[in-house]
Structure 1
Amino acid sequence: PRWAEWKATAAAVNRTSVVKRQGVGIGCMWYGIGNTSMSNPSTMRIGVGRDGGVTLYSGALDIGQGSNTIMAQIAADALGLPYERIHLVTGDTDRTADAGKTSASRQTYVSGKAAELAGRDLRTRILRMTNAGSDAELSIHGATLFVYEGESPTVIDLRGLKPDANGDVLLGEGTFDPPTSPLDADGQGVPYASYAFAAQIALVEVDIELGTTKVLRMAAAHDVGRAINPLQVEGQIHGGIAQGLGLALMEEYIPGRTENLHDYLIPTVGDMPQIEVMLIEDPDPLGPSGAKGVGEPGLVPTAPAILGAIHDATGVRMRQVPVLPHRLRAALRGERP
Structure 2
Amino acid sequence: NFEGTFNTGAYASWGPTVANRVPVHASGPYFIENYRAKSYAVHTNTPSSGAFRGFGVPQSAIAQETAFDLLADKVGIDRLEFRIRNALQNGLPTATGQIFEKGVGIKECLEAIQPHWARANAEARAFNAKANGSVIRKGVGLGSCWYGCGNTSLPNPSTIRFGIKADGTIVLHQGAMDIGQGSNTVITQIAADGLRVPVHSIKLIDGDTDLTPDCGKTSASRQTFVTGKAAQLAGEALRRQILRKANVSEAASLEFSDGLIKAYEGDTSVEIELTRLEPNAFGYVFMAEETYDPPVKALDEKGQGMPYAVYGYGAQLMELSVDTKLGTIKLDRITTAHDVGKAINPMLVEGQIEGGVAQGIGLALMEDYLPGRTENLHDYLIPTFGDMPEFVNLIIEVEDAEGPYGAKGLGEHVLIPTAPAILNALRDATGVIVAALPATPDKVMAALMAHNEE
Q: Secondary structure of 1:188's partner?
A: coil
- 1:20 is matched with 136
Of 300, 315, 318, the residue aligned with 2:416 is 300
The alignment status of 1:179 with 2:295, answered yes or no, reads yes
Query: What amino acid is the match of 2:352?
Result: Q
In the alignment, does 2:30 pair up with 1:30? no
Q: Which amino acid aligns with 1:9?
A: E
- Equivalent residue letter for 1:147: A
For 1:236 and 1:222, the matched residues in 2 are separated by 11
List structure 1 segments (4+ residues) > 4 angstroms apart after TM superposition: none
Task: Give the paired residue count.
Answer: 335
Shift of 1:10: 1.1
Aligned to 2:121: 7
- Return the offset for 1:265: 1.4
In the alignment, the residues of structure 1 paired with residue 424 and residue 273 of structure 2 have an alpha-carbon distance, to the nearest angstrom, of: 64
In the TM superposition, 1:148-297 aligns within 5 A as 148-297=264-413
Letter of the structure 1 residue corresponding to residue 250 of structure 2: S
Deviations 1:50-89 (A, max 9, x none): 2211111001111111110001100001001111111110
User: Residue 153 of structure 1: CA displacement?
Assistant: 2.0
**TM score, norm. by length of structure 1:** 0.97
Q: Secondary structure at the match of 1:153?
A: strand
Per the TM alignment, residue 133 of structure 1 is displaced from its structure 2 partner at its CA by 0.3
Instruction: Look up the match of 2:214.
Output: 98
Checking the alignment, whether the CA contact within 8 Å between 1:37 and 1:181 is kept in structure 2 is yes
Mean CA deviation greater in 152-161 or 175-184: 152-161
State the secondary structure of the residue aligned to 2:244: helix
Q: Give the aligned partner of residue 60 of structure 2.
A: none
Question: How far is 1:296 from its partner?
Answer: 1.0
Contact 1:310 1:317 in 2 (8 A): yes
Partner letter of residue 41 of structure 1?
A: P
Q: Distance in 1 between matches of 2:338 and 2:360?
A: 15
Q: Is the 8 A contact 1:119 1:173 kept in 2?
A: no
Q: Which residue of 1 aligns with 2:3?
A: none
Counterpart CA distance in 1 for 2:264 and 2:435 is: 64
**In structure 1, C-alpha distance between the alignment counterparts of 2:272 and 2:210, rounded to whole Å:** 29
Instruction: Give distance in 1, aligned partners of 2:152 and 2:357.
Output: 24
My pick for the range that moved more, 11-20 or 169-178, is 11-20
Counterpart of 2:168, as a letter, is G
* Alignment gaps of 5+ in structure 1: none
Between 1 and 2, higher relative CO (CA 8 Å, sep ≥ 6) is seen in 1
CA RMSD of aligned residues (A): 1.2
Gaps of 5+ in 2: 1-114
Within the alignment, does 1:78 sit opposite 2:219 as a pair?
A: no
Post-superposition CA distance 1:197-241 (Å, at most 9, x none): 111110011111111111111111111111111111111111111
One-letter amino acid of the structure 2 residue matched with residue 223 of structure 1: D
Which whole-Å CA distance do the structure 2 matches of 1:287 and 1:232 have between them?
Answer: 17
Instruction: Check conservation: 1:39, 1:177, Cα contact below 8 A.
Output: yes
Seq. identity, %: 56
* Counterpart in the other structure of 1:55: 171
Q: Aligned to 2:336, what secondary structure does the other structure show?
A: strand
CA contact (8 A) 1:198 1:223 kept: yes
Measure the CA separation in 1 of the matches of 2:205 and 2:367. 36
Matched, 1:325 2:406: no
Rounded Cα–Cα distance in structure 2 between residues aligned with 1:182 and 1:314: 45
- Residue type of the alignment partner of 2:128: N
TM-score by length of 2: 0.72
Who is 1:315 aligned against? Answer: 431
1:46 pairs with one of 162, 167, 186: 162
Question: The residue matched to 2:285 in structure 1 has which SS?
Answer: strand
Distance apart, 1:258 and its partner CA:
2.0
Whole-Å Cα distance in 2 between the matches of residues 251 and 226 of structure 1? 33
1:262 is aligned with what amino acid?
H
CA distance in 1, matches of 2:280, 2:326: 68
Give the partner amino acid of 2:118: A
What do the CA deviations read for 1:265-303 (whole angstroms, capped 9, x no partner)? 111111111111111111101110100001111110010
